[in-house]
Amino acid sequence: MPKRTVADTEVKGRRVLLRVDFNVPLITETGAISDDRRIRASLPTIKYLVEQRAKVILCSHLGRPKGKVVENLRMAPVAQRLSQLMGLPVGTALDCIGQDVESKARALKEGDVLILENLRFHPEEEANAPDFARKLARLADVYVNDAFGTAHRAHASTVGVARHLPAVAGFLMAKELEVMSQLLDNPEQPFACLIGGAKVSDKLGLMQSMLRKVDMLLIGGGMAATFLKAQGHEVGHSLIEEDRVSLAAKLLQEAEVSQVSLVLPVDAVVAEEIRAGAPTQVVSTTNVPPGSRIVDIGPKSIELFRSELKKCRTVIWNGPMGIYEIPQFAQGTRSLVTFLATLDATTVIGGGSSAEVVQEMGLTDKMTHVSTGGGASLRFLEGTALPGVEVLLDKEQ
Ligand code: ADP
Ligand code: MG
């Protein structure tokens, strides 16, 4: 059922606690924000609240301070960047709960924006401690969650707080849910899922769920080796999860029974070492030399994947085709991104690394949707309920 959004809620003159995912990457040496995409992604919700004359109280976590105050994980630089992007002053606070913040929140005027200090400076945030959630809730009259990226976590600011305030979705959250629900409930067919990344175990749930939905499942990346092994091929020193080989075999069988065409790479780029400049060769996946490991899909596989995907009206992609962090091993991933960008189909990208590559190549606008939530989108597509979504009011409630 669709969730009620900030647009269905009276916010004028009210204090709105807006959970955002401002967990932006920081440059270690300087503390500068290296990528402000997550801040930009919530601008529509923040701007709307300001225009509606709400009193906006933002909260987020940043990095992994593990329940303690960590000076270089304060929210000040984030507030500064937000202020630049909005062209408005953004207030900061020394904490996210307590008397000082409470009086700051009470003093807000309509259209003001305040950002609370890093939620994870308190261990109670991740523990979803009821008292901490109550203290957060005390700051506001309405709760809005726009942090899709943390919706799979039951924390005080994503779940606990919703017990005390009317809880609705922000525009980013609503968009993510709309796109992904559409994929699960009513995808235009043929429907393909392209999966890559390091490990079978990370994506097992996704593969199982997708087998029930898609016409085609294409598998690249590190996990392909486990499937090749399940088919009885030797894969040298490739990344293998021995304990998942039988599961991979079962998935291959399931695909056959449900008449899903499961496509594996036919060739691969192999190297003896994972490092830039390592000598590589292209081999058939039935013929991986003993001392080498698969680092990318090969040119024939790229061609094969393209020709299969070309038939599709809907494509989900999650996980790189190779060790894309090393440019030499990024060819498979990059060519498929380029291809997806030109495809006349609904294209949805989930997964942190995958979204990063699309962004880096400047092709975000060429996709139907690039999810801001790696883990959350994975869980959602697996069919797992997200705790941070469950607690939001239904549209008809
Ligand atoms: P996403 O974040 O898009 O969901 P994952 O986190 O599942 O993707 O996987 C990303 C990782 O998978 C990358 O660090 C990449 O280096 C690794 N990877 C891809 N192909 C291989 C391979 N053949 N061998 C080892 N690691 C791989
Ligand atoms: Mg990842």
Where do the DSSP E strands lie in the chain?
15-19, 55-59, 91-92, 113-115, 142-145, 167-169, 191-195, 216-219, 261-263, 267-271, 280-284, 293-297, 314-318, 346-350, 369-370
Residue 393 lies in a domain: no
| Shortest-distance ligand to the CA of residue 288 | 1
Q: Ligand 1, residues 353, 354, 357: which to mutate, most atoms within 8 A of Cβ?
A: 353
DSSP element (H, E) containing 388:
helix 387-390
Q: Which atom of ligand 1 is nearest to the CA of 198?
A: 12
- Whether 397 has a pLDDT exceeding 80, the answer reads no
pLDDT at 374: 87
125 and 232 co-located in one domain? no
pLDDT of 39 over the 80 cut: yes
Mean pLDDT of the chain: 96
Asked about 111 being catalytic, the answer comes back as no
For residue 350, the CA-to-ligand 2 centroid distance in Å is 10
What digits encode the pLDDT tens for the residues 361-395? 999 999 999 999 989 999 999 999 999 999 999 99
Q: Residue 55 — very low, low, confident or very high, per pLDDT cuts 50/70/90?
A: very high
CA–CA separation, 216 vs 212, rounded Å?
A: 10
CA of 1 to the centre of ligand 1 (A): 33
Measured distance CA(21)–CA(118) in Å, rounded? 11
Looking at 114, 139, 173, the residue that finishes a domain is 173
Domain extent for 235? 180-382
- Please give the span between the terminal C-alpha atoms of the chain, in angstroms, as a whole number: 10
**Domains of the chain: total:** 2
Rounded distance between C-alpha atoms, residue 122 and residue 98, angstroms:
12
pLDDT of residue 158: 98
Q: How far apart are CA 64 and CA 48, in angstroms?
A: 30
List of residues 6+ apart from 69 with CB closer than 8 A? 121
201 CB within 6 A, ligand 1 = no
Confidence (pTM): 0.92
**Amino acid at position 110, single letter:** E
Task: Say whether 300 is catalytic.
Answer: no
pLDDT of residue 144: 98
Q: Is 134 found in the same domain as 161?
A: yes
Domain co-membership, 48 together with 184: no
CA of 378 to the centre of ligand 1 (A): 14
Both 217 and 168 in a single domain?
no
Question: Among 254, 188, 192, 196, which Cα is nearest to 226's?
Answer: 196
Task: Return the pLDDT at 1.
Answer: 82
Same domain, residue pair 11 and 152: yes
- Cα(257) to centroid of ligand 2, in Å? 30
pLDDT band at 335 (very low <50, low <70, confident <90, very high): very high
CB of 350 closer than 6 angstroms to any ligand 1 atom: no
